[in-house]
Copies of this chain bind each other. A is one copy, B any other.
Amino acid sequence: MSCETETAVVLRHAGQKITPQRMLILSTLRHAGEHVTAPIVLEAVRRLYPYVDASTVYRTLGSAAELGLVSETDMGAGDTQFEWIGRDRHHHLICRSCGGVSSLDNSYLDSLATALYDEQGFQADLGHFAIFGVCQNCRV
Contact = CB atoms under 8 A, between A and B. Distances in A.
Interface of A: 66, 74, 93, 95-96, 102, 104, 108-109, 111-112, 115-116, 120-127, 129, 131-136, 139
A109 B129 CA distance: 13
Nearest to A111: B111
A132 B111 CA distance: 16
Contacts of A66: 96
Looking at chain A's contact residues, the main secondary structure is: mixed
B108 A121 contact: no
A104 B133 CA distance: 20
A136 B112 contact: no
A122 B135 contact: yes
24 contacts: A66-B96, A93-B116, A93-B120, A93-B122, A95-B122, A96-B125, A104-B120, A108-B112, A109-B112, A111-B112, A112-B112, A120-B136, A121-B139, A122-B131, A122-B134, A122-B135, A123-B133, A123-B134, A124-B131, A124-B133, A125-B131, A125-B132, A125-B133, A125-B134
Contacts of A74: 74
Contact of A129 (B122, B123, B129): B129
A121 B95 CA distance: 11
